[in-house]
Amino acid sequence: MNKVAMLFPGQGSQYLGMGKGIYDEFSSVKNIFEEASDSIGVDLKKLCFDSTIEELTKTENTQPALLTVSYSMFNILTNEMGIEPLYLAGHSLGEISAITCAGGFEFSDAVKIVRKRGQVMQEAVPIGVGAMAAIGNSNIETIEQHCKNASTESEQVFISNHNSTAQIVISGHKKAVDAASKTLKEAGARVTPLNVSAPFHSPLMQPAADRMQEEMKRYKINPLKIPVVSNVTAQPYVDHTHIVKNLTMQIVKSVRWHESMMYLKNQQIERAIEAGPKDVLKNLMLKNAPEIITYSFDKAEDAKAIKKEFRRNSDDDSKLVDKGLLFITKCIAEAVCARNSNWDNNEYNKGVVEPYNKMRQLKDSIEATGSKASLDDMIEAFEMLKVILKTKLVDISEQKEIIDDILNKTDSKELLKAKLELIAN
């Protein structure tokens, strides 16, 4: 069975007419568009299909429109096609799409959040003060040094996006961006000024970050059902209580996309599906980890290939799936996603970090040998998950829900019911 991640694009992927094909085909998508429209008082159907590219490209419009299309595609891929991703990752705005698809935000709340995000980001820096530029034919260390050399106490430039080894973006005060661009060109780099309205993902956006931190605190945040890789850490969220902090930091910090894709590669992800308009993230994957076969669901030929491949995998699941390994993988995912209420570092290291690392080592060892996971392996992973949930102070009823979900999704209840105590003592 393929190990799948789903990717969610950010601003720049929008185009007039995006999502119309799935809107016309799926009634569920019509409902999603209607819910989004009601949430913010904007006709998203009209905005995406019948407005102008100028209207759609306004940041306050682009962000809810992209979220709505991405969320719609995710629901088709998971609910209609039955694909179960092991990880989600989103680029900039796309991280909010990923968190929403993982259950962190209610969809109607997320639409309000990104509408506000677009507004405050647009207002954070006056037009003409900031700038951004894409840099090619150089490396991150060289670019970082040129940014430092071009910065002064009052005019600064920073790396804002590490998209791949071949694509790095700088952002900051226009004077400093121009100065860094000039010296980088002289050093042989390829420099492309970007037509953007603000210096995104730089400290200049701190006013927007402050306002968004307060905005997000107004909404309920739920535990993530699927691990989401953070732009700020290039690691999955350990706990959903970090969401506001990380999304606030994301506005002023660099997007670590290259490292995030390296994380997915190191987790042996085999397939990735871009759930959103265009194929920007698919093309970046070719530069970051070409061995991960990536599809863009927005492209007709890719959508056809997805349906064919995952239908075949579904037909062959009974023959190909190692239930034991799938069980261990789900235990690892739940260990990451379970909310933490224990802030004692010593207890956390001993009761969460150490057993988590042991589970990872167990899984890696099984995969390296090509053998099947034994019943003892499954029990070992289960016992370590129990320790992690207990250490994180997860409520007993929630522990039972987590374990029942793992058993049901891996079809392991009958196999393990005589061996496992389902509720951690």
pLDDT at 423 over 60: no
Contact yes or no for 127/185 (Cβ under 8 A) = no
pLDDT tier at 418, thresholds 50, 70, 90: low
Tell me the C-alpha distance between 317 and 324, whole Å: 13
Domain ranges of the chain: 4-123+205-317, 128-196, 321-416
pLDDT of residue 312: 59
Measured at the alpha carbon of residue 293, what is the angle toward residues 333 and 25, in degrees to the nearest 5? 85
Is the CA virtual torsion 191, 195, 201, 207 positive or negative? positive
Measured at the alpha carbon of residue 147, what is the angle toward residues 213 and 190, in degrees to the nearest 5? 110
Report the share of the chain in percent with pLDDT over 90: 73
Report the share of the chain in percent with pLDDT over 70: 94
pLDDT at 26 over 90: yes
Q: Which residues pair with 136 in a beta bridge?
A: 190
Contact yes or no for 206/223 (Cβ under 8 A) = no
Mean pLDDT of the chain: 91
Of residues 425 and 250, more confidently modeled = 250
Contact yes or no for 378/412 (Cβ under 8 A) = yes
| Total-model pTM | 0.76
Q: What is the pLDDT of residues 167-190, one digit of tens each?
A: 999 999 999 999 999 999 999 999
pLDDT of residue 313: 59
Query: Which CATH number applies to 4-123+205-317?
Result: 3.40.366.10
Q: Which CATH superfamily is domain 128-196 in?
A: Malonyl-CoA ACP transacylase, ACP-binding (3.30.70.250)
pLDDT of residue 80: 87
pLDDT at 204 over 90: yes
pLDDT of residue 370: 78
Q: Which residues pair with 132 in a beta bridge?
A: 171
pLDDT of residue 407: 86
pLDDT at 196 over 80: yes
pLDDT at 318 over 70: no
Cα-flanking dihedrals φ and ψ of residue 151, to 5°? -90, 145
Beta strands across the sheet bearing 87-90: 228-229, 87-90, 4-8, 271-274, 293-296
Catalytically active residues, by annotation: 92, 201
Distance of CA 97 to the CA centre of its chain: 7
Please compute the mean of the pLDDT values over residues 18-42 and round it to a whole number: 96
Cα first-last separation, the chain: 34
Contact yes or no for 107/71 (Cβ under 8 A) = yes
Please compute the mean of the pLDDT values over residues 68-88 and round it to a whole number: 94
Contact yes or no for 11/92 (Cβ under 8 A) = yes
